[in-house]
């Protein structure tokens, strides 16, 4: 999954288990698109996405209806994404809408 240059990783279902994205590179403008999962965006990125982990392995959890009260695992991202949800959404690296 993913190669040199920009890749767009679209997560469109939570039903098929948690996949792993390898080689996610923000400097290549790789994008993680979660918009198909978000049913009711509440305007606050951190209410919809929680990033945990470190060392280049990030667990991505999603709260599809916002509020930050019902996170479920969505995908694991290996690479250089980091953990700053607000900045990643502002930069367009993580797409919620
Ligand atoms: Ca890439
Ligand atoms: Ca919720």
Q: What is the pTM of this model?
A: 0.94
Q: What are phi and psi of 43, to 5 degrees?
A: 95, -10
How remote is the CA of residue 12 from the centroid of ligand 2, in Å? Answer: 17
Query: Would the pLDDT of 2 be above 80?
Result: no
- Domain of residue 32, CATH code: 2.150.10.10
How remote is the CA of residue 13 from the centroid of ligand 2, in Å? Answer: 16
Question: Tens digit of pLDDT for each residue in 12-66?
Answer: 999 878 999 999 999 999 999 999 999 999 999 999 999 999 889 999 999 999 9
- Mean pLDDT value across residues 77-82: 96
Round to whole Å and give the CA distance between 86 and 97: 14
Q: Please report the pLDDT score of residue 54 as a whole number.
A: 85
Least-confidence region, from 2-11, 42-51, 80-89: 2-11
Round to whole Å and give the CA distance between 1 and 50: 22
Question: Has residue 3 been placed in a domain?
Answer: no
Give the number of domains in the chain.
1
Identify which of 44, 26, 28 has the alpha carbon closest to the alpha carbon of residue 96. 44
Question: Has residue 2 been placed in a domain?
Answer: no
Domain range enclosing 52: 8-95
State the DSSP H helix or E strand holding residue 88, giving kind and residue range, or none if neither: helix 85-90
């Amino acid at each position: 999954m993913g190669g040199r240059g920009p890749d767009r990783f679209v997560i469109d279902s939570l039903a098929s288990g948690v996949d792993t994205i390898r080689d996610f590179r923000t400097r290549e403008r790789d994008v993680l698109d979660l918009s198909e999962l978000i049913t009711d965006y509440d305007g606050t990125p951190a209410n919809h996405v929680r990033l945990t982990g470190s060392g280049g392995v990030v667990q991505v959890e999603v709260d599809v209806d916002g509020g930050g009260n019902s996170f479920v695992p969505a995908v694991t991202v290996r690479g250089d994404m980091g953990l700053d949800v607000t900045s990643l959404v502002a930069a367009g690296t993580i797409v919620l809408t």
